[in-house]
Chains A and B, each alone.
Chain A
Amino acid sequence: MRKLTTATAVAFGILAIGAGAVSAEKLTIGLASEPTSLDPHFHNLGPNNAMSVHIFDRLIAQDEKQRLSPGLAVSWEPVDDLTWEFKLREGVKFHDGSDFNADDVVCTMARAPDVPNSPSGYGTYLKGKEVVKIDDYTVHFKTEAPYPLMGNDISTIPVISELGCDSTTEDFNAGTAAIGTGPFKFQSYTPGESIVLTRNDDYWGDKPVWSEVEFRPITSGPSRVASLLAGDVDMISGVPTTDITTLKGNDDIQLSQGVSNRVIYLHMDQFRENSPFVKAIGGGDIKNPLMDVRVRKAISMAISRDAIVERVMEGVAIPAGQLLPEGFFGVSDKLDVVAYDPEGAKALLAEAGYADGFEMTIHGPNDRYINDAKIAEAIAQMLTRVGIKTAVETMPRSVYFGRASKGSPDGLPEFSFILVGWGAGSGEASSPLKSLIHTYDKDAGFGSSNRGRHSDPETDALIEEALRTVDDAKRQALLAQATERAIENVAIIPTHFQVNTWAAKKGLSYVARTDEYTLATGVVKE
């Protein structure tokens, strides 16, 4: 039987190679998560944005490290404090043959924030910005206050043709309106089944190697790996960490890994005198120890990030000492990963008056980040070892995020100590600083995900100044300074940066991206 199996496998292998040679330029990718629409302005969601990059260019592109580079705009510069001038690329054609010009940009920026039924639109990035056409290849973006992140914001908006501006989401899903300037053209879309794109031979930039790309959503991890092993697909995203070791030993499979912009961190209740999930040993009430910076520091020191990375993440993660990995705009070069020091942590706890420790519960999601529940368990054990008796409660993300954001009876964050992650969509440090560290301020839109309600006026001032500073070098310094202060105050405790893994059949590799996107243009033949 074994012989027969091998013989069949060999026979099929030969057939597969034969078939491969004919359609060598067709690529099939198994996706871990499916886009919810092909309308590029419908849902501001990772998988949707990744898919739309194929069909629709942005004015400014983000490379694999989320650095900005010219897209449909050849240059963008502030001409005064309140105006950014974008010079558009000439001679670019849409898939239907029409010319790209300023009118397309103006109508794109009008449609993007305003799509009917959109679950989460792009208005976030276009608030307070007015677009004015100067001539066919020049547009101005006007703001009410100096705004340095214009490039980052505009790089998130896919540009559609003027003819598509009146189209509905259904028109895009049907393909009739899915007309962009991107490297691939729409071929077919069957929700839940496949998205097929063909090469745009008139593309203005580097032409893709693949003449046809098929994306297949395969959400179950083991099935995705099996599909790759069976040769159904050429590449998969989101390789489960448990399969990485096995796949590494497989000569027919090539793994590609890269750090992401996503930091996994802990938020601590810093706004309630009596925190609901923090108790004295034995269960009595206690004044919230997490308000004391020494306690927060002790918690940080009690966590062995190396152990999390090595044991829980099977080596596929990077210990974190700040909000973004090195290489990103605005990170500090002065911050190191906090060293594991349980004795020091105990001493600090004793100094703060908690020599006997206390009890608390760590809450976290169990289906959102790589190994999230296991990380929470590991952290609880480490804290228990230094005297903070920590219980673990994890739940599906659909329940978790609502409760963590406003689950208490008065609409405040419900938990005391939580595990969360943050991906910096803009690819620079103001994104986590603004949302996680800045004081919660509903009117100004700051601190929207600051679930520990950390508040430090000086850090706030640094962040706000950075967000007003157009000069890159000065802003970089301010962001680094704000990060240093936040880490010094232990506003949050970063544990590690997620590393993403793609697997492809032998001969293919993927240029790993920090934004976790899976792009056909990043798949290269070796």
Chain B
Amino acid sequence: MTVFIIRRLLQALLVVFMMSVIVFFGVNIVGDPVYMLVSPDADQADIEAAISRLGLDRPILEQYWLFLKGAAQGDLGDSFIFGEPALKLILHHMPATMELAFSALILAIVIGIPLGLYAGLYPDSRLSKGIMAASIFGFSLPTFWVGLMLIMLFAVELRWVPATGRGDLGSFLGFQSSLFTLDGLSHIFLPALNLALLKISLAIRLTRAGVREAMGLDYVKYARAKGLSTRRIILVHVMKNIMIPVVTVMGLEFGSLIGFSVVTETIFAWPGMGKLLIDAILQLDRPVVVAYLMIIVLFFVLINLIVDILYSILDPRVRLQDQGA
């Protein structure tokens, strides 16, 4: 297992390096950040000074080499706009995104799995059909539109929760999060729901399909014959077996929750990494865009690894080794 993990980490490093090439050159071809930064009042000399201060007058290969040198020492460059290290900015905005993605994931599991289980056990009931129909909407409606509708309904019409922003922070076990205050929870409810909608639908469909399949299998029949209670059959035996695809997909989707939070964060003015990224893209703050993408790549790689490890715990038949290696 240790060998496996080391090998996977080395692979990850290669992926990150290749991404750095694609991202760095891709981002540096587009546009000219200088005109986004300098005041219109600046004259030609001021503009040239800004170009050379940002190092943009150097050949692109030299810029990339400098970036790699810095990256090896954990320095992904300074934000053009804030003048602070890009990594520091992203880490500063990360907790807000993580708590949003985490809340969305919890919502997806807590809402999606029970509904999917019900729909799988009683596929012909009206409620099940309703659940499945609703999940199609969850898949197909665009996030930004649903987000605005949620705001109009819950914040503007009903006035139950605030429309935008992040609430007060609370402290618990040394963690600072808006999940620990009532004000914070009221602020996070809408964005988390908005972000979770797609994943709830996904969880419903996966669970339902799994349950439908498992219920007809021999081990369930055998358990029934042995006289186990339905409750025990479903909660212990069926659930354990259908959890493998659910955990895999939800694990991978956690990465996409962080990635997709860009849209939700923009609509709900949530001060997370996604909002930072969008602003950085619009203003061509290259170091922040590059650093963000590098971090996301790292995330996906790590999540995949964790999912693989979780597999082996859920299903002892899965061995952690490279096929054909």
- Measured in the bound complex, the distance between the Cα atoms of B162 and A230 in whole Å is 7
- Measured in the bound complex, the distance between the Cα atoms of B176 and A193 in whole Å is 15
Contacts known (A45-B39, A222-B148, A223-B269); A9 close to B157, Cβ less than 8 A: yes
- Measured in the bound complex, the distance between the Cα atoms of B32 and A403 in whole Å is 8
Report yes or no: A43 in contact with B32, Cβ–Cβ below 8 A. no
Q: Does A240 contact B (CB under 8 A)?
A: no
Contacts known (A9-B157, A220-B266); A119 close to B80, Cβ less than 8 A: yes
Q: Does B108 contact A (CB under 8 A)?
A: no
Q: Does B47 contact A (CB under 8 A)?
A: yes
Partner-binding segment picked from B99-107, B134-142, B209-217, B279-287: B279-287
- Measured in the bound complex, the distance between the Cα atoms of B269 and A399 in whole Å is 25
Q: Does B34 contact A (CB under 8 A)?
A: yes
Contacts known (A190-B271, A399-B30); A230 close to B39, Cβ less than 8 A: no
- Measured in the bound complex, the distance between the Cα atoms of B160 and A5 in whole Å is 11
Report yes or no: B36 in contact with A220, Cβ–Cβ below 8 A. no
- Distance to closest chain A CB from B55 (angstroms): 12
Q: Does B158 contact A (CB under 8 A)?
A: yes
- Measured in the bound complex, the distance between the Cα atoms of B150 and A226 in whole Å is 11
Per-position binary interface string of chain A over residues 215-237, scored 1 when its CB falls under 8 Å from any chain B CB and 0 otherwise: 01111101110110111100000
Closest to B271 in A: A192
Tell me the number of A-to-B contacts counted with CB atoms below 8 Å: 163
Contact residues in A for B275 (Cβ distance below 8 Å):
192, 219
- Distance to closest chain B CB from A494 (angstroms): 16
Q: Does B81 contact A (CB under 8 A)?
A: yes
Q: Does B252 contact A (CB under 8 A)?
A: no
- Measured in the bound complex, the distance between the Cα atoms of B36 and A9 in whole Å is 44
Q: Does A274 contact B (CB under 8 A)?
A: no
Report yes or no: A5 in contact with B158, Cβ–Cβ below 8 A. yes
- Distance to closest chain A CB from B171 (angstroms): 15
From 291 to 338 in chain A, residues with beta carbon under 8 angstroms from any chain B beta carbon are: none
Report yes or no: B269 in contact with A118, Cβ–Cβ below 8 A. no
Q: Does A353 contact B (CB under 8 A)?
A: no
- Distance to closest chain B CB from A92 (angstroms): 28
Contact residues in A for B98 (Cβ distance below 8 Å):
none
Contact residues in B for A117 (Cβ distance below 8 Å):
78, 83-84
Contact residues in B for A216 (Cβ distance below 8 Å):
164-165, 269
Q: On chain A, which size bracket covers the interface?
A: 35 or more
Report yes or no: A120 in contact with B38, Cβ–Cβ below 8 A. yes
From 167 to 194 in chain A, residues with beta carbon under 8 angstroms from any chain B beta carbon are: 169-170, 190-194
- Measured in the bound complex, the distance between the Cα atoms of B297 and A351 in whole Å is 62
Q: Does A449 contact B (CB under 8 A)?
A: yes
Closest to A432 in B: B40
Closest to A34 in B: B279
Q: Which of B30, B50, B269 has the most CB of A within 10 A?
A: B269
- Measured in the bound complex, the distance between the Cα atoms of B96 and A435 in whole Å is 43
Report yes or no: B50 in contact with A398, Cβ–Cβ below 8 A. no
From 391 to 409 in chain A, residues with beta carbon under 8 angstroms from any chain B beta carbon are: 396-399, 401-403, 405-406
Q: Does A469 contact B (CB under 8 A)?
A: no
Contacts known (A124-B39, A216-B164); A398 close to B30, Cβ less than 8 A: yes
Closest to A399 in B: B31
Contact residues in A for B164 (Cβ distance below 8 Å):
30, 216, 218, 223-224, 226-227, 232
Contacts known (A193-B166, A223-B163, A226-B164); A401 close to B35, Cβ less than 8 A: yes
Report yes or no: B37 in contact with A119, Cβ–Cβ below 8 A. yes
- Measured in the bound complex, the distance between the Cα atoms of B36 and A398 in whole Å is 6
Contact residues in B for A406 (Cβ distance below 8 Å):
32
Q: Does B44 contact A (CB under 8 A)?
A: yes
From 443 to 459 in chain A, residues with beta carbon under 8 angstroms from any chain B beta carbon are: 445-446, 448-449
Report yes or no: A226 in contact with B155, Cβ–Cβ below 8 A. yes
Q: Which of A44, A118, A120 has the most CB of B within 10 A?
A: A120
Indicate which residue in A37, A226, A398 contacts B31 across the interface (CB closer than 8 Å): A398
The count of chain B contact residues (Cβ–Cβ below 8 Å) is: 55
- Measured in the bound complex, the distance between the Cα atoms of B80 and A223 in whole Å is 27
Contact residues in A for B65 (Cβ distance below 8 Å):
none
Q: Does A36 contact B (CB under 8 A)?
A: yes
- Measured in the bound complex, the distance between the Cα atoms of B268 and A81 in whole Å is 56
Q: Does B182 contact A (CB under 8 A)?
A: no
Q: Does B232 contact A (CB under 8 A)?
A: no
Report yes or no: B269 in contact with A218, Cβ–Cβ below 8 A. yes
Contact residues in A for B162 (Cβ distance below 8 Å):
227, 230, 232
Contact residues in B for A13 (Cβ distance below 8 Å):
159
- Distance to closest chain B CB from A373 (angstroms): 15
Q: Does A271 contact B (CB under 8 A)?
A: no
From 237 to 292 in chain B, residues with beta carbon under 8 angstroms from any chain A beta carbon are: 266-269, 271-272, 275-276, 279, 281-284
Q: Does B156 contact A (CB under 8 A)?
A: yes
- Measured in the bound complex, the distance between the Cα atoms of B22 and A67 in whole Å is 50
Report yes or no: B269 in contact with A442, Cβ–Cβ below 8 A. no
Q: Does A23 contact B (CB under 8 A)?
A: no
Contacts known (A124-B46, A192-B275, A223-B151); A43 close to B81, Cβ less than 8 A: yes
Report yes or no: B159 in contact with A398, Cβ–Cβ below 8 A. no
Report yes or no: B156 in contact with A229, Cβ–Cβ below 8 A. yes
Contact residues in A for B80 (Cβ distance below 8 Å):
119
Q: Does B235 contact A (CB under 8 A)?
A: no
Closest to A431 in B: B41
Taking A120-B42, A435-B41 as given, write out 17 further A-B residue pairs in contact, using a Cβ cutoff of 8 Å, ordered by the A residue number.
A5-B158, A9-B157, A42-B83, A117-B78, A119-B81, A120-B46, A120-B50, A190-B271, A192-B275, A193-B165, A223-B163, A226-B164, A230-B155, A230-B162, A396-B282, A401-B35, A425-B41
22 of the cross-chain contacts (CB-CB < 8 Å) are: A5-B157, A5-B158, A8-B159, A9-B158, A13-B159, A37-B82, A37-B83, A117-B84, A124-B39, A193-B271, A219-B275, A219-B279, A226-B155, A227-B269, A230-B163, A232-B155, A232-B163, A398-B32, A398-B33, A445-B44, A446-B43, A449-B40
Q: Give B contacts to A, CB under 8 Å.
A: 30-47, 50, 78, 80-84, 92-93, 96, 148, 151-152, 155-160, 162-166, 266-269, 271-272, 275-276, 279, 281-284
- Nearest first, the 3 A-B pairs at minimum CB distance are A402-B32, A117-B83, A445-B43
